[in-house]
Amino acid sequence: MPNDPVPSLLSRATELLEAEFAALPPFQSVQDPAAMAQVLEETAHRLGDNYPYFHPLYAGQMLKPPHPLARAAYALAMNLNPNNHARDGGRASSEMEIEAVREIAGIFGWTEYLGHLTSSGTLANLEALWVAGQLAPGKRIVGSEQAHYTHRRISAVLKIDYAEISADNRGRMNIEALETELRNGDVGTVVVTLGTTATGSVDPLDQILKLSKRHGFRVHVDGAYGGYFRLISESLDEPARQAYAAAGEADSIVIDPHKHGLQPYGCGCVLFRDPAVGRFYKHDSPYTYFTSKQLHLGEISLECSRAGASAVALWATQKLLPLKPGGTFARGLAQGRAAALELDRRLRDDARFQPLAAGAPELDIVVWKLAARTSEQSSDLAQKTFAACAARDLHLALVQLPVTWFQPVGSGVNGSEAGLVTCLRSVLMKPEHEEWLDRIWERWIAACAEVLEM
Ligand SMILES: *Cc1c(COP(=O)(O)O)cnc(C)c1O
């Protein structure tokens, strides 16, 4: 990868880390460098069978390369391979986790809370819903039909009934449909997605919180993908801006540093507004180490072993790029969003393409269909242009969405055609995407010229 700073950063830091343990007698571990080098060469070849996720021309799925500093810090921590289950397994990295999580909680204005890192957003959501279920026994969980598919599965694991609330033509939870559901009186928790995975849509959290005051349900925010946009919420369009502004009033929040937070995989985060929910985690493991009187992370986590290296990478990244509105990290989010808005604008200017009828992207995900007489033809064109882009090293994604979302409101076409249509989807989550938009657009237009003139 071009001028990768990681090897040289790492060699200097590794020397320093070794010096920390210089007092120990040296020892030899059994290794065969020649054999390892050979296997690693083969590994490099095998890894070539991947999309180039690190490159700005990869503009498909929700994949953001980890920051070079995160990679270096992670690799540095691998010299010790700490385990953040307990302080004995990862004394320094547990402290770093606590500090890093405090800064994430700060995005939402929380100073008193319970929170920790997890292996993923799914695990983080599992913990939040596990706690929610215990606080509202016998009651249901509901989320929008555009909520992440794992909420239904998590609820099944927890043996809690789960129901879907319909979404509007923008992919946001339909508030009237939620109110109807609430009339049954058996909703214990509403999952509110700030940034849906398919379209980056923002559920109306502020309105849902008002309903929760009246109906007494718990509000869980799934910001696995979109949580960080709170840092630039002032620049978002209404109603997303208001939804983000209300995020601090939620009962629990999930945010994935490995989605938008520049981290390697294996880094989710769950936060609870009320630290007292820690009582649900109480366990009495005979294996756990008890050298510390302080609460250790294994006592507030469903998982046992967890990569301390994830915490180290996150801590280092946040040192370099503090989570502050107006900071470099926040500017990176804004750059991706600017790229998304510009792509959407160009698509709207060309009659061959149909972006969401309801308006511009709320965050940094653009979806659009190709104009055609039928949904089938449109889906077929999406498949073909997707492949023609890939042949030009431009990697987009495909997504199935309701065809009505693309029909002009009040056009009379509404409802004439039901069902799903295959669309193009582009997650423009790299800061570099802004600078690369012209080159992305050129390739897209060339791919379309080839497919549409066939
Ligand atoms: C990605 C995502 C998840 C799942 O998180 P993982 O880290 O992939 O397990 C949950 N919710 C939303 C909104 C997501 O985008």
Degrees to nearest 5, angle at CA 448 with 444 and 452: 175
Alpha-carbon gap, residue 155 to 11, rounded angstroms? 46
Q: 32 C-alpha vs ligand 1 centroid, how far in Å?
A: 40
Q: What 3-state DSSP class applies to 394? A: coil
Cβ-count burial of 425 within 10 angstroms (0-12 exposed, 13-18 middle, 19+ buried)? buried
Cα dist from 14 to 27, 52, 146, 375, whole Å? 17, 28, 45, 57
Instruction: Give backbone dihedrals phi and psi of 266, rounded to 5 degrees, phi first.
Output: 105, 25
Note the pLDDT tens digit of each residue in 103-149: 999 999 999 999 999 999 999 999 999 999 999 999 999 999 999 99
Q: How many CA atoms lie within 13 A of 21 on its CB side?
A: 10
Q: What's the pLDDT at 410?
A: 64
Termini Cα distance of the chain: 36
Burial zone of 427 (CB within 10 Å; 0-12 exposed, 13-18 middle, 19+ buried): buried
pLDDT tens across 335-366, in order?
A: 999 999 999 999 999 999 999 999 999 999 99
What pLDDT does residue 418 have? 73
- Is-same-fold flag (91-320; 328-409+416-452)? no
pLDDT, average across residues 24-48: 95
CB contact at 8 A, 254 and 223? yes
3 state DSSP class of 365: strand
* Dist. CA 122–CA 99, nearest whole Å: 22
CA of 149 to the centre of ligand 1 (A): 9
Cβ(193) – ligand 1 distance below 6 Å: yes
pLDDT higher than 70, residue 18: yes
| DSSP per-residue string spanning 198-209 | TT--B--HHHHH
Q: Kindly tell me if the per-residue pLDDT of 273 is higher than 90.
A: yes
Query: Hey, what are 269's tokens?
Result: 């985060």
Sheet of strand 353-355, all strands in order from the earlier edge strand to the far edge:
353-355, 365-370, 420-427, 397-402
Q: How far apart are CA 370 and CA 176, in angstroms?
A: 31
Residue 295 binned pLDDT confidence (cut-offs 50, 70, 90): low
Token readout for 264 is 């390697």
Helix H or strand E encompassing 399:
strand 397-402
The pLDDT, as a whole number, for residue 346 is 98
Ligand 1, atom nearest to 258 Cα:
7
The response to whether residue 231 sits with its C-beta less than 6 Å from ligand 1 reads no
Q: Residue 294: what pLDDT?
A: 57
Q: Is 364 in the pocket of ligand 1 (CB under 6 A)?
A: no
228 lines ligand 1 (CB under 6 A): no
Give the model's pLDDT for residue 285: 60
Q: Is the separation of the CB atoms in 304 and 86 below 8 Å?
A: no
What does the angle CA 332 – CA 426 – CA 410 come to, to the nearest 5 degrees?
115
Residue 406 Cβ < 6 Å to ligand 1: no
What does the pLDDT read at residue 3? 86
The pLDDT-based confidence of 292 (bands split at 50, 70, 90) is: very low
Find the range with the poorest average confidence among 63-77, 81-95, 165-179, 326-340.
81-95
- Which whole number is the average pLDDT over 381-408? 97
Average per-residue pLDDT for the chain = 94
Average pLDDT of the segment spanning 8-37 = 95
Give the type of residue at 51.
Y
Residue 73's pLDDT is 98
Alpha carbon of 121 to ligand 1 centroid (Å): 5
- Whether 429 shows a pLDDT value over 70: the answer reads yes
Best CATH choice for the domain 328-409+416-452 from the list 3.90.1150.170, 3.40.50.970, 3.40.190.10, 1.10.1660.10: 3.90.1150.170
- Cα of 331 to ligand 1 centre, how many Å? 23
Q: Which of 278, 284, 311 is nearest to 89 (CA)?
A: 311
Distances, alpha carbon 271 to alpha carbons 80, 135, 335, in Å: 27, 16, 27
Average pLDDT over residues 30-44: 96
Element (H, E) at 442: helix 433-452
CA angle 190, 195, 201 (to 5 degrees): 95
- Tell me how far apart the alpha carbons of residues 151 and 157 are, in angstroms, rounded to a whole number: 10
pLDDT, tens digit, 9 for 90 and up, residues 163-195: 999 999 999 999 999 999 999 999 999 999 999
* Distance of alpha carbon 262 from alpha carbon 152, whole angstroms: 28
Structure-block tokens of residue 116: 């920790």
Looking at 3.90.1150.10, 2.60.40.10, 3.40.640.10, 3.30.9.10, the CATH number of the domain 91-320 comes to: 3.40.640.10
Under 8 Å between Cβ of 230 and 247: yes
The DSSP H or E segment spanning 55 is none
Identify whether the C-beta of residue 144 lies closer than 8 Å to the C-beta of residue 290.
no
pLDDT over threshold 60, residue 413: no
- Categorize the per-residue pLDDT at 415 as very low, low, confident or very high, splitting at 50, 70 and 90: very low
Rounded CA separation 387/4 (Å): 30
Nearest C-alpha neighbor of 251 from the set 177, 303, 190, 302? 190
Which range among 180-189, 237-246, 403-412 shows the weakest confidence by mean pLDDT?
Answer: 403-412
Whether residue 197 has its Cβ less than 6 Å from ligand 1: yes
181 within ligand 1 shell (Cβ under 6 A):
no
Task: Report pLDDT for 427.
Answer: 98
Using a cut of 0.85, tell me whether the model's pTM lies above it.
yes
Peptide bond into 239 cis (omega under 30): yes
Give the pLDDT band (50/70/90) at residue 298.
confident
pLDDT level of residue 372 (50, 70, 90 thresholds): very high
How far apart CA 194 and CA 172 sit, in angstroms, is: 9
Element containing residue 219 per DSSP (H, E): strand 218-223
Longest dimension (CA), the chain: 81
Evaluate whether 129 touches 155 at the Cβ level (below 8 Å): yes
Residue 304 DSSP class = S
Output phi, psi for 59, to 5 deg. -135, 35
The domain segmentation of the chain, as residue ranges, is: 91-320, 328-409+416-452
Residue type, 383: Q
Whether the CB of 127 sits within 6 Å of ligand 1:
no
* 62, 429 contact by CB (below 8 A): yes
